[in-house]
Amino acid sequence: MNSRIAIIGLVPALTLVAAVDLAAQDEFALEEIIVTAQKREQSLQEVPVSVTAISGEDITEGGITGMQDVAMETPNFTMTQFNIGEPQYFIRGIGTTLDSAGADPAVATFIDEVYIGRAGGSSMDLYDLQRVEVLRGPQGTLFGKNVVGGAISIHTQKPSDEFTAKFGITAGNYDALAVRGLISGSISDSVNGSFSFSQRKRDGYVENVVDSIDYHDEDNISFRGQLAFAPSDTTEIRIVADYSKDDQAGNCRNVNNLDLNDPFLVAVPVYEPVIAATTGGDIRKCASSLGAFQKRDISGLMARIDWDLANATLTSITAYRETDYQWSEDLAGLPVGLTSFNLIDAADEKSDQLSQEFRLTSTGDGNVEWLVGAFFMEENVDRAEDFIGSFGPPFAAQGFSLLDGDIVFAQDNKTTSTALYGQLDWHVSDAFTWSIGGRFAKDEKKISQALINNEDPAFDSALASAIFMTPTSVVVLGIPANGPGELIAYLTTGDPSVLNVPYDIDASDDWSEFVPSTSLNWKFGDNNLVYFTASKGYKSGAYVAQRISAATAVVPLEPEFATNFELGLKTEFADSRVRLNASVFTIDYTDLQVFRLVGSLLVGASAEATSTGLELDLTALVNENWVVNASYGYLDAEYDKFISGTDDLSGNILPRSAENSYSISSNYVFDLSGGSTIDFDLNYTHKGDYFMETSNVPESEVSGYGLLNASLGWASADGRWEAVAWGKNLTDEEFRTHSIVGNICCTVDLWNMPATYGLTVNYTVN
């Protein structure tokens, strides 16, 4: 799908915009959206940042229940997911699949301004939220933790002054059942409190023909409690505690793309009869004898204090978080013993983090506004990943026995991050503002890494016959890799047994960097803003998981840098009934940290890349009852220079980078006699073609897909009762949500949810 087709998809929305002027005499306008993207409450239209803001009300009306839904609504945002603990966020083509205990996310998540160090610790039920803000591009100045690709900022609802209680129940196909509740109000003259809970269960939508269990199910329970104190007229204290638990049957992958170019010309005949006898190629079936599972516990405690001083507010945010998850899954996708290749992957990870942020924000009315802050975080991650492989003929004779047996990669990492940051906004005139900011960040990582061979540490002789060295390169599994690279130990010793000999090493390194930002903002007319921003982002160095030798395990990847130039327009017209925000950008990345599968090895490497694109967000209030939203993203993201072993991937498209993405939604409220209302919401989102892998092999390409969602709701006149019938993916679109592209035969894939539908009933007491 090209840009022209995508833009044509927005024509209906633009036509409705033209119709808005016909009702200009009526007195209604779009509601102002307040965000805290710059750490102070501002109108979305006054913030010189490319940000998509989704309110709590929009989340309810649009059927947004998870981050995948948020990604579909946001231009140039793609989400894939390896498992429950490893969601993969890519904004403007930048993200990471590196699961190491010694690595940072490229797209960071913040919950109530608290940085979440592990991607798997950011998942939460999108209930009782005030809003979700997605900031695109580097956010190096104002956020506590440095962010190189973008930021997802989730804001929960604060306790209310007045008593309110809400209870809801949802039932749907696949025996889905969700129960949610909230109570909020005043406890005393100076204390407000709230408590919310949710429990969600759903059967799986993938049948395992081996054990007859339905996988890809859901079983979650979540709690969040808050207290808000006002001990004086100048002091506010907010304490938030949350807990979430998941216990699922987990992933069950199936095998596809058997026409993959098999370098050994043996795999396809081995796999075809097994697939025919088990899944028959049905993507809603899998065949694994493992008995996979996914479990996760997340908990956190946050205390925020705001002191109003003479001309400034001092904010302290103290937070502690823990994440504990375990999972096991079959990466081969076929029963043990029926093929010559099987590989089980299991991981156990525990992490905790303590963070402290101080921020002083000006509150005066002068022509200068400023903000300064300090940040500290200590994170501990203890991770062990176990690969249990079985490689019989013909694979063992072709070198795949590197992971034959039972190999554990263990990591124990401690990260310490500190930073000083600030920004100054000089209002040169009523129309013109110049902002300048900077951040000095230091990151230190101390890691213990081990390779544990739970079986015979002696090297399989078949591998020795499959590995040989030339004067310039070493060839492993049919994949040449220039030295020293991943196999430096072998090049140094000439002894292939070093590749799976157990090791236990300690390593440490630290990095520090100053990242500046500046923007020029010009207001013209009423509700119009043009801005130009130049900013730099930084992500610390990283230790790569699954290193096969001690010599490479001690060598980290270099820090990642992004330089962003962005020109944006924010405007409202037709008497504030139409809001159009647009931005064009180019981002230059150096030492981009890339994690890729080469043969049977997971390899870390660095690359240079450029991401250029366009983003549009449109909201139109067609009449007092009808709101239309549309967004569009165009992205051209590719590697400028990427040499990995003997593979020259320069010029390849960055993974998870759809050239075109757009969404269109319509919400119409019908007023009924007696004061009740009918609310009809229709939403279509489209994501263009993109590659899962840096190699850009055809088998890694995910074809473009579109999702159609709809809901029809009724609300009583007093606002107490609400009933909503809803449907998601109504056209039953099928696409891969994760894919492993190997050189054995094929792709081993996870697929999206099929069409779902249900009924939600809410009761509210005010």
- Residues 6 or more apart whose CB falls under 8 angstroms from that of 93 comprise 76, 609, 611, 635, 637, 654, 656, 657
Dist CA 179 CA 166 (whole Å): 11
Burial class (CB in 10 A: 0-12, 13-18, 19+), 214: middle
Residue 393's pLDDT is what? 54
Q: Is the pLDDT of residue 581 over 90?
A: yes
Summarize the confidence of residues 107-133 as an average pLDDT: 84
In CATH, what number is assigned to the domain containing residue 349?
2.40.170.20
Residue 662 counted as domain residue: yes
Q: How many domains does the chain have?
A: 1
Q: What whole-number percentage of the chain has pLDDT above 70?
A: 85
Summarize the confidence of residues 462-480 as an average pLDDT: 33
Residue 486 counted as domain residue: no
pLDDT digits (tens, 9 = 90+) for 729-765: 999 999 999 998 876 678 899 999 999 999 999 999 9
Residue 198 counted as domain residue: yes
Residue 268's pLDDT is what? 61
Least confident of 82-86, 101-105, 167-171, 392-396: 392-396
Q: Is the pLDDT of residue 62 over 80?
A: no
Summarize the confidence of residues 600-608 as an average pLDDT: 80
Question: First and final CA of the chain: distance in angstroms?
Answer: 49
Residue 474 counted as domain residue: no
Burial class (CB in 10 A: 0-12, 13-18, 19+), 66: middle
Residue 234 counted as domain residue: yes
Dist CA 663 CA 10 (whole Å): 8
pLDDT band at 410 (very low <50, low <70, confident <90, very high): very high
Residue 105 counted as domain residue: yes
Measured CA angle at 639 (ends 635, 644), to 5 deg: 150
Confirm if 250 and 325 have CB atoms less than 8 A apart.
Answer: no
Summarize the confidence of residues 394-403 as an average pLDDT: 48
Residue 465 counted as domain residue: no
Residue 281 counted as domain residue: yes
pLDDT band at 486 (very low <50, low <70, confident <90, very high): very low
Q: To the nearest whole number, what is the mean pLDDT of the chain?
A: 85
**Dihedral of the alpha carbons of 56, 58, 62, 65, in degrees to the nearest 10:** -20
Strand positions, DSSP E, 293-367: 293-308, 312-330, 341-362
pLDDT band at 61 (very low <50, low <70, confident <90, very high): low
Domain that holds residue 564: 3-457+500-765
Dist CA 679 CA 76 (whole Å): 29
Confirm if 596 and 606 have CB atoms less than 8 A apart.
Answer: no
Summarize the confidence of residues 461-489 as an average pLDDT: 34
- Residues 6 or more apart whose CB falls under 8 angstroms from that of 461 comprise none
The pTM of the full predicted model, rounded to 2 decimals, is 0.88
Summarize the confidence of residues 190-213 as an average pLDDT: 94
